[in-house]
Amino acid sequence: MKQRTLGKNGLSVSAIGLGCMGMSFGYGPAANEQEMIKLMHQAVDAGFNFFDTAEVYGPWVNEVLVGKALAPFKGKVTIASKFGFDIQDGKHVGVNSRPENIRAVADASLRRLGVETIDLFYQHRVDPKVPIEDVAGTVKDLIKAGKVRYFGLSEAGVKTIRKAHAEQAVTALQSEYSVWTRKYEAEVLPTLEELGIGFVAFSPLGKGFLAGKLDENASFAQGDIRNILPRFTQEALKANKKLVDLLNDIADRKSATPAQIAIAWVLAQKPWIVPIPGTTKTHRLIENIGASNIELTQEDLQEIKEASAKIKIVGERYTEAMEKTTGL
């Protein structure tokens, strides 16, 4: 797989990464551990070298899974993890980016991942009670101590990005980005380009919707986050199908799938954007790999731009309470 560079400090990763959250958390019951280890091995064999996890996924169990799966590939893969939630009794009860918590999470994540250094350490959500300069300064100290290699932010706004970057170079911002979630294009992406910060796009398939397999009759397992998201109500799924129809039209001409077109679209936006679709299925992993070989022409991109602009997306991406935890 082709490589892309995140940030100005030389972090080179596969053009598509693997989001590992759904293996343990967020989409119903956790998947079988041995099957997920096998899937991650298949990913490495296929050219993936960028894997994304976080302490809060589970919590904790996803880091353990990723560490166990990737132990044979130490030094050959990049593992990103995150801090910034307050976890009590196995549940996150708010944000917490106090310096002492960041340091404690770093040490615990190192143990769970079984590594000496966390390659990319993101602040998972902005903590309004802690100045971002203190957060960045704490991560700077962790970098000096050899516990962290690169600093990242997630779901942060322009002011936060600039303040953090002034204290410690931000290598990547991770936020949701896809053909149906484009709120970052107006201000955030130009700021990242100006500062030389990479962008890691989670949910490039719109939590599975853009793969084209969900309709208004879709149902989700207990514990699946989509049960509470406004975009996954029956009304929203029916209305938003117009966007999938558009991707299907392009896919038919390219002998591809709508999922591949959706990922290819993200890749085509900037050379420093790396999407990290998640999956628990081998055939989906193979399908996602195929997106890296699809070339969308300027005419294709213009067609998608003009057609999607006429489609009103129904439903917010998150509930109001969830959206408040972002820094935007």
**Which residues are known catalytic residues?**
57
Side chain identity at residue 79, one-letter code: I
Q: Where does residue 134 rank: exposed (0-12), middle (13-18), buried (19+ CB within 10 A)?
A: middle
Helix (H, G, I), strand (E, B) or coil at 77: coil
Beta strands 50-52; 3-6: pairing state = unpaired
| Tokens linked to 85 | 């939630």
Closest C-alpha among 209, 204, 210 to residue 220: 209
Please, which residues have CB within 8 angstroms of residue 270's CB and are 6 or more apart in sequence? 189, 193, 199
Helix (H, G, I), strand (E, B) or coil at 44: helix
What's the distance, CA 232 to chain centroid?
A: 19
Core vs surface per residue 295-314: b (16+ CB within 10 A) or e: ebeeebeebbeebbeebebe
C-alpha torsion angle, residues 59, 85, 81, 221 (rounded to 10): 40
- Report how far apart the first and last C-alpha atoms of the chain are (Å, whole number): 33
